[in-house]
């Protein structure tokens, strides 16, 4: 789902590939004790990478996607649109409404995307790697909470570049 809205203050939280992999594996470890999962529904695009890691670690073979678009230019949040629905066979598993299904995303931010997907699969278990306070009540399991005004820079969004020291970022 990747950061629903621009931050109030530019607090940067860059995440490396190594760190993201460790955090996604920690999420899988935590989920392993919560029951038997039959499928994953990942929220594209941010949920693709953690879903692959969780699926590997938990031996889950059925991976479905749901597409909800909120960013239209990576700056301003537009109206949310479901651009790809969840396959009905996945919704109907284990008695329906997403029972036995994990919903996976990289981040819950304001919770707007999470609310749409949660409404589609009310009995599913919602898990994210990172959570911000506004969206946190909508997820069942997460690894790291960051403040609402923190902007997470995911490894798939970054290249190698100089990072100024934090003291230089807060001056002025």
Helical H segments across the chain, by residue range:
17-32, 48-58, 88-91, 112-120, 166-169
The confidence score (pLDDT) of residue 67 equals 97
Q: What is the pLDDT of residue 8?
A: 46
> What is the C-alpha separation between 161 and 23, in angstroms, rounded?
23
pLDDT tens digits, 14-62: 999 999 999 999 999 999 988 889 999 999 999 999 999 999 999 999 9
Report residues of the chain scoring pLDDT below 70: 1-9, 71-77, 169-172
130: nearest Cα among 63, 66, 50: 50
N-to-C CA span, the chain = 32
Per domain, the residue ranges of the chain are: 11-156
Distance, in Å, from the CA atom of 4 to the CA atom of 39, rounded to the nearest integer, reads 26
Report the pLDDT value the prediction gives residue 122, as an integer from 0 to 100.
97
Positions annotated as catalytic residues are: 105-106, 109
Q: Identify which of 78, 75, 150, 74 has the alpha carbon closest to the alpha carbon of residue 107.
A: 150
How buried is residue 129: exposed, middle or buried, by Cβ count under 10 Å (0-12/13-18/19+)? Answer: buried
Fold of 11-156: Rossmann fold (3.40.50)
Q: Which residue has the tokens 């919602």?
A: 126
**Do 110 and 97 touch, CB atoms closer than 8 A?**
no
Tell me which residue of 71, 137, 145, 65 sits closest to 105, measured CA to CA: 65
């Amino acid at each position: 789902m990747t950061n629903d809205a621009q931050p109030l203050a530019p607090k940067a939280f860059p995440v490396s590939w190594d760190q993201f992999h460790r955090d996604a594996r920690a999420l899988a470890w935590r989920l392993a004790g919560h029951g038997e999962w039959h499928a994953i529904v990942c929220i594209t695009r941010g949920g693709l990478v953690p879903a692959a890691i969780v699926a590997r670690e938990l031996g889950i073979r059925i991976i479905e996607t749901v597409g909800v678009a909120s960013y239209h230019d990576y700056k301003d949040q537009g109206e949310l649109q479901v651009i790809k629905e969840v396959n009905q066979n996945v919704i109907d598993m284990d008695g329906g409404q997403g029972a036995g299904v994990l919903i996976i995303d990289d981040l819950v931010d304001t919770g707007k995307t999470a609310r749409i997907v949660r409404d589609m699969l009310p009995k599913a278990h919602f898990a994210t790697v990172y959570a911000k306070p506004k969206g946190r009540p909508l997820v069942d399991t997460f690894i790291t909470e960051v403040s609402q005004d923190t902007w997470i820079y995911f490894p798939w969004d970054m290249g190698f570049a100089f990072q100024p020291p934090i003291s230089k970022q807060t001056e002025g």
